[in-house]
Amino acid sequence: MATQSFDLKARLANRNEPFLFSWMTMPSSHLAGQLARLPIEGVCLDLQHGMIGFSDAVDMIAAISNAGRPAIVRVLWNEPGLIGQSLDAGAAAVIVPMVNSKAQAEAVVKAAKYPPLGGRSWGGYTAFQTYGMSPADYLQKANTITQVFAMIETQAALDAVEEIAAVPGLDGLFVGPSDLSIALSKGAGIDKTAKHTLDAMKRIATAAQKNNLVAGAFAGSADVIKTYAAMGYTFMAGAVDVDLLQAGAENLMKAVKGV
Ligand code: 3PY
Ligand code: MG
């Protein structure tokens, strides 16, 4: 049996240095393996807005895990089957979109954690292999080795963020600054560093810190990562696969042709 070489929980407990990961939208296990070997600490598969289906994700999670990196899955929706299935496939963390209330956060924990914290259904055969554990070991350790994040990205979620953060069993909050800024501007625009977005993100980071949760966010670029890191965010998506390709092509053309 292969043994998982990373300890995501321990790594995230070190809040002095942000954990940065790439964000995949394309359904390719080859590319997932390549991305996992780049000097960035993890890979997130976006099953909500990326073009990745669950059967693609199974092979991608294996490729990322085999490269010694944690596979993170942003699931399609806050639905217990989707959360359990991703963890059963060996995901080290799940990020659940649009968690808008305490009750919805409790449903996330119920799907992601085994009793006594939650009510996750048993059957993680692929996860046992990924972690190199016996089923009995996995049952003992899964609640701590797998991390679950509730996304805060609506006005309702922001209004309830202190209650959401206090739900036992959550490991972190994860801000979706695009949806959040659309909501806060009442549809006027997407602005990940507008004052209203950053003010809301300060409140979210405070709620996370008060409950010893990891504060995470989708950042997408170096400047935004630095801004969020200065506010206490320590788990950030920093590079989208298609953006990395575009930047590579643009840099090449600029270097060769000056355009
Ligand atoms: C958001 O910013 O709304 C996200 O969900 C991250 O992609
Ligand atoms: Mg979103």
pLDDT of 3 above 60: no
Binding site membership of 152 for ligand 1 (Cβ less than 6 Å): no
Instruction: Spell 92-108 as b/e; 16+ CB within 10 A means b.
Output: bbbbbbbbbbeebbbbb
* Residue owning tokens 């070991």: 137
Between CA 254 and CA 259 the distance in angstroms is 5
| 16 alpha carbon – ligand 1 mean position (Å) | 24
pLDDT of residue 1: 43
Between CA 201 and CA 227 the distance in angstroms is 11
Over residues 227-236, the pLDDT tens digits come to 999 999 999 9
Task: State the pTM of this model.
Answer: 0.97
| 178 alpha carbon – ligand 1 mean position (Å) | 5
pLDDT confidence band for 6 (50 / 70 / 90): confident
Contact 112, 75 (CB under 8 A): no
- Check 5, 7, 14, 49 and give the catalytic one: 49
Atom of ligand 1 nearest to the CA of 153: 3
| 179 alpha carbon – ligand 2 mean position (Å) | 5
Over residues 210-232, the pLDDT tens digits come to 999 999 999 999 999 999 999 99
| Enclosing H/E stretch for 167 | none
Question: Quick check: is 49 catalytic?
Answer: yes
The residues whose Cβ lies within 5 A of ligand 2, an ion, are: 153, 176, 179
> Which residues, 6 or more positions from 1, have their beta carbon under 8 angstroms from its beta carbon?
129, 132, 133
Between CA 5 and CA 70 the distance in angstroms is 9
Q: Whole-number mean pLDDT of the chain? A: 96
- Alpha carbon nearest to ligand 1 atom 5, residue: 176
In percent, the amount of the chain with pLDDT more than 90 equals 95
Over residues 51-91, the pLDDT tens digits come to 999 999 999 999 999 999 999 999 999 999 999 999 999 99
Between CA 189 and CA 195 the distance in angstroms is 13
Binding site membership of 178 for ligand 1 (Cβ less than 6 Å): yes
| Enclosing H/E stretch for 121 | none
Between CA 92 and CA 61 the distance in angstroms is 9
